[in-house]
A and B are shown apart, each in its own frame.
Chain A
Amino acid sequence: KAGVTQTPRYLIKTRGQQVTLSCSPISGHRSVSWYQQTPGQGLQFLFEYFSETQRNKGNFPGRFSGRQFSNSRSEMNVSTLELGDSALYLCASSPEGRGGQETQYFGPGTRLLVL
């Protein structure tokens, strides 16, 4: 099976712009979670989607949003970018069974640099 894929792998934006990141989960996985990883803060949970519905949300401002499509692919969007949004954005998918978000498999990440 192909793993979790994320596009693009690298992105440079300027302050005030918006960005959309894409994630394709492992085939058959219906849960997709997004994380922000910075050197000082570790892995910070953004949100989780399951069957096109947001099931969990972390403590990020409303500038961070996401959605999931019927094929389980997910996108996250960050509007009005700030310098502090520079980070590695990771997507993880989980298989069904065992109550949902149990075993997460990560993609390679999208490294975003905001100038």
Chain B
Amino acid sequence: GQQLNQSPQSMFIQEGEDVSMNCTSSSIFNTWLWYKQDPGEGPVLLIALYKAGELTSNGRLTAQFGITRKDSFLNISASIPSDVGIYFCAGFSNTGGFKTIFGAGTRLFVKA
């Protein structure tokens, strides 16, 4: 079945550093989504990408929809302590039924 490989699994960084995480798949997706989840809460949508090659920013966050439609990355610039949390990628495909597949998450730790 469809799977998303999200890496890295966790990251320990210093405040002010830039962060990069990515998701890859052997399947093609029509939409890539990036979420952030704080402990005990539901994931919050950060960025949605609908077109291959699309590059979208949301404040210090930038995400891109890979041109092969099989991958996406999320960058966070100048990290701050409140960036701590779990970041999930998700890919939507309308092939074989409408499905959204989630990556396993990247756990980000930021040291002040």
Contacts and interface: CB of A to CB of B under 8 A. Distances in A.
Interface string A73-115: 0000000000000001010100000111111111111010000
A103 B48 contact: yes
Contact of A104 (B50, B100, B104): B100
A56 interface: yes
B66 interface: no
Contacts of A48: 98
Interface residues of B, number: 23
A67 to B, nearest CB: 19
Interface stretch (B12-20, B33-41, B77-85): B33-41
Contacts of B68: none
B97 A56 contact: yes
A48 B98 CA distance: 9
Chain A interface SS verdict (over half): strand
A104 B42 contact: no
A43 interface: yes
A104 B91 CA distance: 11
B30 A101 contact: no
19 contacts: A6-B42, A33-B100, A42-B102, A43-B43, A43-B102, A45-B100, A55-B97, A55-B98, A90-B42, A100-B98, A102-B30, A102-B31, A102-B50, A103-B48, A104-B45, A104-B90, A106-B35, A106-B43, A108-B41
Interface of A: 4, 6, 33, 35, 42-43, 45, 48, 55-56, 88, 90, 92, 98-109, 111
